[in-house]
Amino acid sequence: MKTQTLSKRIQNLKRKTNEDTGDFIDFNKSVYDRVMRETTSEAMVVRMAKGLSAFLKVKDIAVDVEDLLAGRAKVVNCQYSHPFENRNELNAILSGPHAGCISQADKETGEEFLKGVGIGIYQRWPSGHVIGGYDRVLQVGFKDRIEKAEAILSCDDSDKNAFAQAVLISCEAARDYILRYAKIARDTIPTAASDDRKAQLERIATACEWVSTNPARSFFEAVQLLWLTHEVIVCEQVCGSLSLGRIDQYLYPFYAADLAAGVITKEEASEIIEALWIKFGGLRKAYQNVVLGGVDQNGNYAVNDLSYMCLQATKKLRMDQPLLSVRWHKSMPEAFWQEIQELIEIGLGFPALFNDEVCIAAKRRLGVSIEDACNYGVVGCVEIAVPGKEFGHTECFRFNWAKILEIMLNDGTCTLTGEKMKLKNSRNLDDIKSFDEFFNWYKDELLHFLDLGLHVTNFFDAHYPENYPIPFLSAFMDGCLENGGDVTAGTTVYNFTSVNAVGMADTVDSLAAMKKTVFDDAKMNLSELSEVLRNNFNGSERLRAELVYQCPKFGNDRNEADGFMQELSTLFCDHVDGFSNPRRGRFQTGFYSVESHAYRGLQTGALPDGRLSRVSLASALSPCHGADILGPTAVMKSVTKLDHRMFGNGMVLDLKFHPAFFENDKHREAFNYMVETYFELGGMEVQFNVVSRETLVKAQLAPEEYRDLIVRVSGFSAYFVTLDKAIQDEIIARTEHSAIA
């Protein structure tokens, strides 16, 4: 499909959205605070619904006279919800209605966990991170949920009444909110400068009046209802990564019917998609993921006009939202792949590619049905999930492998803060005589601290329904209304808790370096190495150079380091597999890092692989910076020595190419074969930055000249100049490939 230029209207809408600067979420809690004070005797799920309702009544809205869709691109989030500070989360539990039932052991474990958060072992985030039941909204509308909630209330089922009341309140609030848009669109008609503009405002008003209650009847109504539902969902929750699932699949029936009836053209539909993309683009770093393509349970690949339109919208608009992912399969049409590759070469970091065979197998391994596994979407960065049926709490808990190594070499003490953690087995380093002895100790401590994090995660999550319910999102999640409970209580079909790893390559490179330097070559003992690391290699520059350049590194198809990664990843995932959660579900594992590799790096001291203190850790499952010296094919061979079906919550492999690489047709062909081979070897996901180091350095020095430069971070793309310097430095430091070995 040939890329067309943007219409004047779309150009103006993009410009206005980009000029709306500021944070992507504004935490305006005053309305919620008032409602919470007035409703202390009611169930929290009802209080949350009333808070949302009160806010939507006063939320600032507007319909631009040039817009194709109603909706405020820059959504304001007001939720009186999950605190970002884990201390506040623990305090809320300890002062909550079940405080008297909490054991002293749980309190002490919670405090130990918070110490681990403070020094960079653990990270815990709020909720969000889910694909809502958008397809159900389009099919049944708010009226269906309202009527079902009213039916439950009429039966006086006290166990379900509170949740049903909350659904009723929140869905009526969403209905009235959309009607506000209908009114303002009609009120704007007289100000329109042309009949075309007046007709468009009339279409917006009519559509909003209908979809405020009813299911969509047309492609335009479906897109309008999709966005406004998304707007309310974002307003309800404090966290991002509220993703859209398979837009090209659930919008297609509306498009196909309108196209066949002659009420819409491909060009008109494309412009509507572009207008929708601009709405998403108004949310800065909101991690809203859209996934395209993919096979069904019979192996048929699903691609249609909308799949191409979505790719084209991203290519033409060049905005950092929505994040775009494509489900890859060997049966993918060649024309679709060509569109994908052209988009990759532009250098936006879009799309990320997901291997259907492996992703479906990963979800099946967790007990997901074949039908639901084949319908997987992508949450936020790379988390694979079933739309409208899975609450995976995908950013619940992140665990820093490298920090465990640091504190082991210092008797449990963080070298940056002096804070001390309780090791499972405190050891005298001079008593350790073999690498196997040290490695077995590391595995014991890794699982010890993992167990502590898993226990506290379950402790916190058990209190989610009473503190942080989300009734509007829950209303359209399969099973919640029928089972009479919020999605946070485990009422939908699949209820996972996710544990994500960070610092993996840094750890295995460090272990390989220790084995060679301390035990094989006997150049120093562990105590001496510990002292060098505490001093951040000051005065030991020659030793550091040996550790960096003469020791095995993960990512070069060398078993000395790759073997450690294979063994530890299997140990980690198998251990996580053995845990269940309070929502009658199980734990799943992710090997991706978002921005945490940079932030946890700031909290991690010097490591035995030669990495200096406070430097970013490796991005996700990618090799350490500059360690992959044998090209991208060696990286892929190293990474696929792991069984990616273990990663039910997804994984990331980041690769960076110089733009000049794609100027050669043979290189482009080789790139195609490389991706295909990686997936045939069992790779789950891969994503690409196509940007030169020179450009990134210039952008860091003169950000005002590179405001539109978009890069792939780790699972998401963002405007480079908006990133923290630590993250910018990490992206600059990544190995830049100019050939495929």
Q: Write out pLDDT tens, residues 477-525.
A: 999 999 999 999 999 999 999 999 999 999 999 999 999 999 999 999 9
Asked if 208 and 181 touch (Cβ cutoff 8 Å), the reply is yes
Cβ(258)–Cβ(212) below 8 Å: no
Pairing mode, strands 397-400 and 497-502: parallel
Report the pLDDT value the prediction gives residue 80, as an integer from 0 to 100. Answer: 52
- 106 vs 351, higher pLDDT: 351
Find the mean pLDDT for residues 564-575. 98
Q: Which residue has the tokens 């790759």?
A: 562
User: Higher model confidence: residue 468 or residue 290?
Assistant: 290
Token output for 442? 């590391």
**b vs e for 598-625, b when ≥16 Cβ sit within 10 Å of the residue's Cβ?**
bbbbebbbbbbbbbebebbbbbbbbbbb
Please tell me the predicted confidence (pLDDT) of residue 458.
94
Would you state the structure tokens that stand for residue 489, as one six-digit string? 């209580």
Q: Is the pLDDT of residue 152 over 80?
A: yes
Based on the number of CB atoms within 10 Å of its own CB, is 97 exposed (0-12), middle (13-18) or buried (19 or more)? exposed
CB-CB contact of 44 with 82 (8 Å): no
Closest CA to 51 of 193, 237, 181: 237
Strand 352-355, strand 323-328: pairing: parallel
> What are the residue ranges of helices labelled H in 537-658?
541-549, 559-577, 596-602, 632-639
Q: Nearest 5°: phi and psi at 560?
A: -60, -40
**Alpha-carbon dihedral angle through residues 486, 488, 489, 493, given to the nearest 10 degrees:** 90
Residues composing the chain: 741
The answer to whether 106 touches 218, Cβ cutoff 8 Å, is: no
What is the Cα–Cα distance from 727 to 673, expressed in whole angstroms? 31
Q: Report cis status (omega within 30 of 0) of the bond before 623.
A: no
Distance between CA atoms of 239 and 668, rounded to whole angstroms?
A: 39
Mean pLDDT of 129-155: 96
- Count Cβ atoms below 10 Å from residue 318 Cβ, excluding itself: 15
In the sheet with 497-502, reading across from the earlier edge strand, the strands are 122-124, 397-400, 497-502, 587-590
The set of residues, in sequence order, having a beta carbon less than 8 Å from that of 639 and lying 6+ positions away, is: 555, 621, 653, 683
pLDDT of residue 741: 61
DSSP state of 493: S
Residue 365 token pair: 């391994």
Mean pLDDT to the nearest integer, 449-469: 92
pLDDT at 77: 47
How does pLDDT run across 622-666, given as a tens digit for each residue? Answer: 999 889 999 999 999 999 999 999 999 999 999 999 999 999 999
Mean pLDDT of the chain: 93
Q: Which residues contact 700 (CB under 8 A, 6 or more apart)?
A: 720, 721, 725, 728, 732
- DSSP tag of 73: S
pLDDT above 80: residue 2 = no
* DSSP code of residue 395: T
Over the stretch 683-727, which tens digit does the pLDDT of each residue have? 999 999 999 999 999 999 999 888 888 888 887 888 888 888 988
Q: What is the DSSP letter of 651?
A: B
Rounded CA gap, 236 and 230, in Å?
A: 10
The residues near 261 (Cβ < 8 Å, ≥ 6 apart) are: none
Phi/psi zone of residue 285: left (φ > 0), alpha (ψ -120 to 50 degrees), beta? left
Question: Which pLDDT belongs to residue 283?
Answer: 82
User: Is there a contact between 210 and 217 (Cβ–Cβ < 8 Å)?
Assistant: yes
Strands 587-590 and 497-502: parallel
Q: Is 409 helix (H, G, I), strand (E, B) or coil?
A: coil
Residue 78 pLDDT class (50, 70, 90 cuts) = very low
Using pLDDT thresholds of 50, 70 and 90, give the confidence band for residue 23: very low
Q: Who's near 353: CB < 8 A, 6+ residues apart?
A: 325, 326, 328, 340, 675, 679, 685, 686, 687
| φ, ψ for residue 342, nearest 5 deg | -60, -40
CB neighbour class for 192 (10 Å; exposed up to 12, middle 13-18, buried from 19): middle
Q: Could you read off the pLDDT of 241-252 as tens digits, one per residue? A: 899 999 999 999
| Predicted confidence band of residue 24 (pLDDT cuts 50, 70, 90) | very low
CB-CB contact of 123 with 600 (8 Å): yes
The whole-number average pLDDT for the span 109-133 is 91
Question: Percentage of the chain with pLDDT > 70?
Answer: 96
- Write the pLDDT tens digit of every residue in 167-217: 999 999 999 999 999 999 999 999 998 999 999 999 999 999 999 999 999
pLDDT in tens, 260-290: 999 999 999 999 999 999 999 988 778 999 9
Give 30: exposed, middle or buried? Use CB within 10 Å, 0-12, 13-18, 19+.
exposed
Residue 60's contacts (CB-CB under 8 Å, 6 or more residues apart) are 72, 76
Backbone angles phi, psi at 558, to 5 degrees: -115, 125
Nearest Cα neighbor of 326 from 283, 348, 304, 356 is 356
Average pLDDT for residues 382-387, to the nearest whole number? 97
Using pLDDT thresholds of 50, 70 and 90, give the confidence band for residue 21.
Answer: low
Tokens encoding 425: 């087995």
Question: Model pTM?
Answer: 0.95
**Over residues 568-592, mean pLDDT:** 96
Q: What is the DSSP string of 655-695?
A: EEE-GGGGGSHHHHHHHHHHHHHHHHTT--EEEEEE--HHH
pLDDT at 82: 52
**So what's the pLDDT on residue 504?**
98
Pairing relation of β-strands 685-690 and 654-657?
A: parallel
Q: What are phi and psi of 505, to 5 degrees?
A: -65, -40
Phi, psi (degrees; rounded to nearest 5) at 504: -70, -50
Residue 352 near residue 382, CB atoms below 8 Å? yes
Q: Which of 677, 683, 674 is nearest to 644 (CA)?
A: 683
The single-letter code of the amino acid at 470 is I
Please enumerate in sequence order all residues whose Cβ is within 8 A of that of 57, keeping only pairs 6 or more positions apart, or say none: 173, 176, 177
